[in-house]
């Protein structure tokens, strides 16, 4: 009778490990599991801190498009202004590139305002401020 009972119990035993077996294994190896978790967490944190942010550089060629003739009292003596761009004109171009109108258009065109929360205009204003803060434009008088 006892033999039949033992055989019957063995027949109902699942073929794979039970949940109890898995939990027991985890508790036996908790030091290794905790150490692995801490190492992975530190690796993720360090990669987030040490990885460089996206950075792009570009040069914009500024040319004098319109001709400003110098008018004199003499007939047939039109003098044309020089072709080089002055530092004041370069600074003017930099100010135009940093203007809030142009930054707003860039934010709307690229969808940067969708990364913010809140009302539409508030999101756009936050994105324009963030883009203006992260954008660095400097004039360079040297030709390429």
pLDDT value for 75: 61
pLDDT in tens, the chain (144 residues): 556 655 555 555 557 888 898 888 888 888 998 999 999 999 999 988 888 777 788 888 777 766 656 666 666 655 555 567 788 888 888 898 889 999 999 999 998 888 878 899 999 999 999 999 988 888 876 654
**This model's pTM is above 0.75:** no
Write a three-state SS string for 86-137.
CHHHHHHHHHHHCCHHHHHHHHHHHCHHHHCCCCHHHHHHHHHHHHHHHCCC
Residue 128 in contact with residue 104, Cβ under 8 Å? yes
């Amino acid at each position: 009778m006892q033999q039949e009972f033992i055989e019957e119990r063995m027949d109902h035993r699942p073929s794979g490990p039970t949940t109890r077996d898995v939990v027991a294994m985890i508790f036996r190896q908790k030091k290794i599991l905790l150490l692995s978790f801490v190492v992975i967490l530190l690796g993720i944190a360090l990669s987030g801190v040490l990885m460089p942010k996206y950075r792009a550089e570009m040069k914009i060629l500024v040319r004098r498009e319109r001709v400003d003739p110098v008018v004199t009292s003499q007939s047939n003596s039109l003098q044309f202004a020089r072709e080089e761009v002055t530092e004041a004109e370069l600074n003017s171009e930099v100010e135009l590139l940093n203007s809030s109108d142009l930054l707003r258009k860039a934010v709307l065109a690229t969808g940067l305002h969708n990364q913010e929360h809140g009302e539409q205009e508030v999101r756009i204003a936050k994105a324009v401020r963030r883009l203006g803060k992260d954008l660095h434009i400097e004039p360079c008088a040297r030709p390429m």
